[in-house]
Structure 1
Amino acid sequence: MGLTSRSLEYATVLAALVCVGLTVWVWPRLARRGPVAVLGRLGVIAVTQLTIITSFAVAVNTQFDFYGSWGELLGHVDKAPATVTALGKSGVYSTVGAVQGRLVQPAGPQGLDRVKGLPHGPAAQVGRVESVRIIGRRTRAVDPGFVYLPPQYFQKQYHRQRFPVMVTISGYPGGIMNLAQYLQVPQTAQRLLQQNKMQPTVIVMVRPTIAPPRDTECVDVPGGPQAETFFTKDLPEAIKQTYRVGHDPSAWGALGYSSGGTCSLQLAMRNPNVYTSAASLSGDYKIADDLTTGSLFGSGPAGARRRREHDLVWRLKHLPVPNVSVLAASSRQGEKDYADTMKFLHAVKSPMTSAQIILPRGSHHFTTWLREIAPAMQWMSGQLTFPQDITPAPAKHRPGATAHKPASAPAHSPTTQAAGRPRR
């Protein structure tokens, strides 16, 4: 009987009802005085409470897939990294620090001081993680964030070099702490860089909602929070103003888990002039209203149109296909989005390219996402173009002075886009 099966859910509910019935039936017999009767009453109460709590926990887990199997619940899980598979039309083929800038401001630790495994040492050797607040010039939103800067960012030979950007987005209601502490994004980036499996990249870690506690799903809500505008205009503007990052869309990608994965796909497919790659770990492929979102699209024909346009499979069938690369991750067992994931991947067509991470079993939980995050980040690094432009030279190197030799890109950084998508 599987941990997420309906039969287990029904069995635990039935057991709870039986225990309640038995408690009512035997209680008069346990109403006598004496230690045996007292122990009997305590035992009946304990068993009844235990079965009720168990039935509730099983029902919640069945609904949200926190644990996909008994092995995951007991900690017996496969921790080997997942594998990325490229897809074609016919199927499978081959530290907190001070930040200067009006729109990015330094923040307190925001929990970063409790995260283990962050870069520790000279920034030019191990990189740095900064705790910041990102100010939306258009939306007036203030979003907390962490920014990972690779060691090369601080090295002399790259002092004028721009870097690609990976925007990583947490799930809802999780915050940026989940990205650093549980998904281990900066720790993974540091390890991949050391293994020469990832090009130096600035990683911006944010949450999906800009108006907590409302789940905005990265949507511009009519008369409400303008989340899509924040992620496609405000955030890129703030990061470009503050850090040495690429200005071309080919240098920008979005990656997230759960609601953050949904956002990543939506942002890239709806705004290919901002993000040209997206990776989704256990995300959805369309957005619907619920108790946490409220009305995201409004009513009437205009609301229906906005809802359709946030259905990614519908977009692939009815609208021009964007020139972006996407990765979708799911599990054959334990994840409810597997069928939708395959439907989405099968709908992808040129010029869009796709890849997948499909585990035999998993769940909507960090145990699964930790297996997927390293290959997903490595895949995305291969999609992002390392910027060839450099920052303006200091005054002494401007016309009339000695020319400054541009810093070259790292030897392992791609100089062209991934196959199937021309370099912009």
Structure 2
Amino acid sequence: MGLTATKVVMLSVLVAVLLFAATVWLWPRLAGGSIRAVLGRIGTLLICQLSIFAAIGLYANQSFGFYGSWADLFGTETTPGVVVDHDSPASKRVQVVGTKRMSVANANNPRVAGRIEKITLQGPKADIASPGYVYLPPEYFQPEYAKKRFPAALVLTGYPGTTEALINGLKYPQTAHRLARQDKMQPMVLVMMRPTVAPPRDTECMDVPEGPQTETFFTEDVPSAISGYYRVGAEARNWGVIGNSSGGYCALKMAMRHPDAFSAAAGLSPHYKAPKDATTGDLFGGDERLEKENNLHWLLDHRPAPPVSLLVTSSKKGEKNYKATMRFINKAKALNARGEPTRISSMILDSGGHNFNTWNREIAGCLEWLSGRVETPK
């Protein structure tokens, strides 16, 4: 069972409960001042506390995606890096290295369940290669859709999230599968990646001066490679982007700065400017203009309104970004009232923290919204 599997978390909770009950039951037998009794009390308390800490740690890891596998946790991951061939055609920049079962009915039949493919994607312009997962809807494998190209969405985690969390924790593919079956969204290809392409550094999806060119990777290399390998539209109107937390900031920023790459973006609990902390380092190289160019409020105030649709989410209680989100909404609404092409939508909850539970309440609505704003290739 995988590190982030629900069964693992539930088993750890059950073990912790049983050990706690055993400690209570054994405590009278361990009374007394003998060395054996004292060591017994110490041992039962230690084991009980370790089991509780393990259960809490596994739950927190599943919720926030700090580690994606046991190998990741223990530092034994030995997957080698991938050489980027800069002269490779787009059709060869995607390498499928495995598949992952869909946790839906008839999972073995891709015409019914769709399929998740694990990939490595080469980005020659950014000089970056990064892993990810691609969800292909059931229609992708059905004969009547054999010549059809599909719209796509880039799905991003927050920092330092794992790509697996988009599948196991946030359940993007399962939700898209269910909504399409209910005719609430059109079949879409989901390209699921983490924005941390140069771990452990948090680049906030920027082209860092003399550093990782993350923005170029996601706005140019990824759409080009995916549309060259899969039956996916290649134009901005065929592509959307969605993410949570720092991934939400990335989604909004990349659509606003690159409407030639994405026509719609949804930010779940996003922040609106790149932070400066130990995980980011100096993202701007002392360039104040570059810092402003990566501030979403500044972009609305000082740059021509981009022809994109934006969706932001927050909570009145539990989210620190609520006031900043409302300012962003009001600025975008003012632009729209003046006839500018930027469109703004929002999902504001009464309460909800900065966590997977809150985002799981928002993802279905956001995917429906995104599906309605990207076009199926003609």
Show CA shifts across 1:202-237 (max 9, x none): 110000121111111100000000000000111011
* Residue aligning to 2:163: 176
Aligned counterparts of 2:124 and 2:353: Cα–Cα separation in 1: 38
Partner AA of 2:216 in structure 1: T
For 1:102, the equivalent position in structure 2 comes to 92
- Alignment check: 8 A CA contact 1:116 1:181 kept: no
Residue pair 1:119, 1:129 contacting (<8 A) in 2 also = no
Show the counterpart of 1:129: 116
**Corresponding residue of 1:263:** 250
Query: Residue 119 and residue 250 in structure 1: after superposition, are their counterparts in 2 closer, same or farther (change >3 A)?
Result: farther
5 Å-filtered alignment, 1:125-204, equals 125-204=112-191
Code of the residue aligned with 2:254 in structure 1: it is: L
Q: Does 1:379 align with 2:369?
A: yes
Aligned to 2:195: 208
Q: 2:122 touches 2:221 (CA, 8 Å); kept in 1?
A: yes
Partner of 1:368: 358
Following superposition of structure 1 onto structure 2, how do residues 220-369 of structure 1 map, counting pairs within 5 Å? 220-299=207-286, 303-348=287-332, 349=335, 350-369=340-359
Distance in 1 (CA, whole Å) between partners of 2:185 and 2:126 is: 33
Structure 1 CA distance, aligned partners of 2:267 and 2:119?
24
1:122 to partner: Cα distance: 2.1
Give 1:134 shift. Answer: 0.8
Q: Deviations over 1:349-403 (max 9, x none)?
A: 2211111111110011100000000000000000011111xxxxxxxxxxxxxxx
Q: Structure 2 counterpart of 1:331, which letter? A: S
Deviations along 1:29-63, whole A, 9 cap, x unmatched?
xxxxx849x98xx99xx9xxx9xxx9xx9xxx9xx
Higher relative contact order (CA 8 A, sep 6+): 1
| Conservation of the 8 A alpha-carbon contact between 2:224 and 2:234 | no
Contact 1:119 1:128 in 2 (8 A): no
Unmatched tracts of structure 2, length 5 or more: 1-31, 65-89
Moved over 6 A (4+): none
Change (3 A) 1:280 1:229: same
1:325–1:354 contact (8 Å) kept in structure 2: yes
Task: Report sequence identity in percent.
Answer: 45
Counting matched residue pairs gives: 300
| Structure ID, larger Rg | 1
Q: Distance in 1 between matches of 2:158 and 2:104?
A: 22
Using the alignment, how far apart are the partners of 1:263 and 1:175 within structure 2? 16
1:142 counterpart SS class = strand
* SS at 1:383 equivalent: coil
1:245-304: CA deviation from partner (whole Å, max 9, x where unpaired): 1122111100001111011001100000110100011111111221101111101xxx10
Q: What one-letter code is carried by the residue in structure 1 that aligns with 2:296?
A: L
Q: 1:330 to 1:118 in 2, by over 3 A?
A: farther
Given that residues 128 and 217 in structure 2 are in contact (C-alpha distance below 8 angstroms), is that contact kept between their aligned partners in structure 1?
A: yes
Do the aligned residues in 2 keep the contact of 1:256 with 1:281 (CA within 8 Å)? yes
Contact 1:323 1:351 in 2 (8 A): yes
| SS of equivalent residue, structure 2 residue 92 | coil
Runs of 5+ unmatched residues, structure 1:
1-33, 67-99, 389-424
CA distance in 2 between partners of 1:140 and 1:241 (Å): 18
Cα distance in 1, alignment partners of residues 283 and 150 from structure 2: 34
Deviation at 1:196, TM superposition (A): 0.4
CA distance in 2, matches of 1:119, 1:273: 38
Q: State the TM-score, normalizing by the size of structure 1.
A: 0.66
Shift of 1:158: 1.6
1:250–1:385 Cα contact (<8 Å) kept: yes
CA distance in 1, matches of 2:360, 2:236: 27
Q: Which has the higher helix share?
A: 2
**One-letter amino acid matched to 1:354:** I
Which residue identity is paired with 1:379? W
With the length of structure 2 as denominator, give the TM-score of the two structures: 0.74
**2: CA distance between counterparts of 1:148 and 1:282?**
24
The one-character-per-residue Cα deviations of 1:113-166 (angstroms, maximum 9, x if unpaired) are 6x7448713222221111111111112211111111111111222211111011
